């Protein structure tokens, strides 16, 4: 099972599915596949959802691991059992279900032998812990037969405290008021910028130019003001986006700071991801009647500002008598002269701007 979003690992999983997060230099999912192979399992079905294409591109048909890998994709969230049911057409014998995002060294051979010896319809592998309050609990009889499930039971102290709080505060508060997209982004501007900055730091190989946080983020408050204005005073569909002098100035500044055109594009892409993550975090508050229009306006405005940045970036290069492509290469060459920029320069020539 490799379809989870890995929300608790963000921003690590903003661009990477949780099963591909590396542990000791190897993605968790590959650790699991090697475990399966050690126990004689070489035919594998991987269930995909969030960023599933990244997993498929990484593993292919499994030939590099001497395994046979097939994939099933969830068009909508199906849950744990639903994702397995979605793969039923590929399961014609006894099969093992294992998480592709949880590292384990469990003895699968012993598990499979016990399942066959007991003749069970299904076998679940359990593990005892001193304090089960953070986990789901399975109640069994003396012979190991499952009697019931309990989801993360509360401890006595926690239950008593909860009762006291309810007696003190009365009924729980009413659901939060519905907000439009502009209001959410206005309220969450700084947290969105902070999330974007964390992503830039995390993926520093993509934008290796060294800047202070203030230099890196100086353009964003104005960009968010433009974006919020655009959301509150929407343009007719198909209209040309508003001209932004700040966007043009930002393109010039980034060229002076040593950015390549590809870095400008990556910076803009990461910003869209951070904005959409903010909306995801506020889904219970969003007015869904205007959500789609808001998302389209966000994508159009951010892309429009990127286009204006690129125009000024290229125009400045031409004004110096340097063809645009050579100007981009020159900036890249300057970055490549510094050790921390070298890996990006090698790759940027292969990446579309």
Q: What is the 3-state secondary structure (H, E, C) of the chain?
A: CECCCCHHHCCCCCCCCHHHCEECCEEHHHHHHHHHHHCCCCEEEEEECCCHHHHHHHHCCCHHHCCEEEEEECCCCCHHHHHHHCCHHHCCCCCCCCCCCCCCCCCHHHHHHHHHHHCCCCCCCCCCCCCHHHCCEEEECCCCCEEEEECCCCCHHHHHHHHHHHHHHCCCCCCCCCECHHHHHHHCHHHHHHHHHHHHHHCCCCCCCCCCHHHHHCCHHHHHHHHHHHHHCCCCCCCCCCCCHHHHHHHHHHHHHCCCHHHHHHHHHHHHHHHHHHHHHCHHHECCCCHHHHHHHHHHHHHHHHHHHHHHHHHHHHHCCCCHHHHHHHHHHHHHCCHHHHHHHHHHCCCCC
Return all residues near 233 (Cβ < 8 A) that are at least 6 apart. Answer: none
Q: What pLDDT does residue 98 have? A: 87
Question: What phi and psi values does residue 42 have, to the nearest 5 degrees?
Answer: -120, -10
Q: What is the reported pTM? A: 0.44
Q: Map out the domains of the chain as residue ranges.
A: 7-125, 127-173, 181-348
Q: What pLDDT does residue 185 have? A: 92
Beta-ladder partners of 68: 43
Q: Is 316 exposed, middle or buried (0-12, 13-18, 19+ CB in 10 A)?
A: middle
Q: Does domain 7-125 have CATH number 1.10.10.1100?
A: no
Q: And the tokens for 83?
A: 């994702």
Contacts of 311-315 spanning 24+ positions with Cβ under 8 A: 311/248, 311/251, 312/247, 312/248, 312/249, 312/250, 312/251, 312/252, 313/251, 313/252, 313/254, 313/255, 313/259, 313/261, 313/264, 314/261
Q: What pLDDT does residue 151 have? A: 67
Rounded to an integer, what distance in angstroms lies between the CA atom of residue 83 and that of residue 72? 8
Q: What pLDDT does residue 89 have? A: 86
Cα–Cα distance list, 253 to 60, 144, 197 (Å): 42, 67, 18
Rounded to an integer, what distance in angstroms lies between the CA atom of residue 93 and that of residue 214? 59
Question: What phi and psi values does residue 270 have, to the nearest 5 degrees?
Answer: -65, -30
pLDDT tens for the chain, 353 residues: list them: 878 777 777 777 777 888 888 888 888 888 889 989 888 888 889 888 878 788 888 888 888 888 888 888 887 777 778 888 888 888 888 888 888 888 888 888 988 888 888 888 888 888 887 776 667 778 788 888 887 777 665 555 665 566 666 667 665 555 556 788 999 999 999 999 998 998 888 877 888 999 999 999 999 999 999 889 888 888 765 666 677 788 888 889 999 999 998 899 999 999 999 998 898 888 888 877 778 888 888 888 888 888 888 888 887 655 555 554 444 444 343 333 333 333 333 333 444 43
Rounded to an integer, what distance in angstroms lies between the CA atom of residue 298 and that of residue 219? 16
Is residue 182 within 8 A of residue 226, CB to CB? The reply is no
Q: What pLDDT does residue 328 have? A: 46
């Amino acid at each position: 099972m490799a379809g989870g979003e890995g929300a608790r690992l963000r921003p690590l999983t903003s661009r990477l599915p949780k099963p591909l997060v590396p542990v000791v230099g190897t993605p968790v999912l590959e650790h699991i596949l090697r475990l399966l192979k050690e126990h004689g399992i070489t035919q594998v079905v991987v269930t995909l959802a969030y960023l599933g294409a990244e997993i498929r591109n990484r593993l292919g048909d499994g030939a590099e691991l001497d395994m046979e890998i097939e994939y099933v994709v969830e068009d909508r969230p199906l849950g744990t059992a639903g994702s397995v049911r979605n793969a039923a057409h590929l399961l014609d014998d006894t099969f093992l279900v294992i998480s592709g995002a949880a590292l384990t060294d469990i003895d699968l051979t012993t598990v499979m032998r016990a399942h066959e010896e007991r003749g069970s319809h299904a076998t679940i592998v359990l593990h005892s812990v001193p304090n089960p309050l953070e986990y789901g609990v399975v109640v069994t009889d003396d012979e190991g037969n499952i009697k019931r499930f309990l989801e993360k039971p509360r401890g006595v102290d926690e239950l008593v405290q909860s009762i006291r709080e309810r007696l003190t505060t009365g009924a729980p508060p009413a659901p939060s008021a519905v907000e439009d997209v502009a209001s959410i982004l206005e309220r969450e501007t700084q947290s969105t910028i902070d999330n974007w900055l964390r992503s830039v730091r995390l993926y520093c190989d993509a934008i290796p130019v060294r800047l202070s946080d203030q230099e890196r983020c100086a353009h964003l408050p104005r960009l968010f003001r433009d974006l919020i204005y655009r959301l509150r005073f929407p343009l007719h569909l198909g209209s040309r986006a508003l001209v932004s002098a700040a966007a043009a100035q930002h393109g010039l500044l980034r060229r002076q700071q040593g950015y390549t055109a590809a870095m400008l594009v990556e910076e803009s892409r990461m910003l869209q991801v951070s904005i959409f993550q903010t909306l995801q975090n506020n889904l219970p508050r969003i007015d869904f009647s205007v959500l789609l229009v808001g998302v389209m306006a966000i994508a159009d405005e951010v892309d429009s500002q990127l286009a204006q940045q690129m125009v000024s970036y290229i125009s400045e290069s031409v004004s110096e008598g340097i063809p645009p492509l050579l100007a981009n290469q020159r900036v890249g060459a300057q970055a490549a002269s510094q050790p921390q920029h070298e890996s990006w320069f090698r790759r940027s020539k292969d990446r579309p701007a």
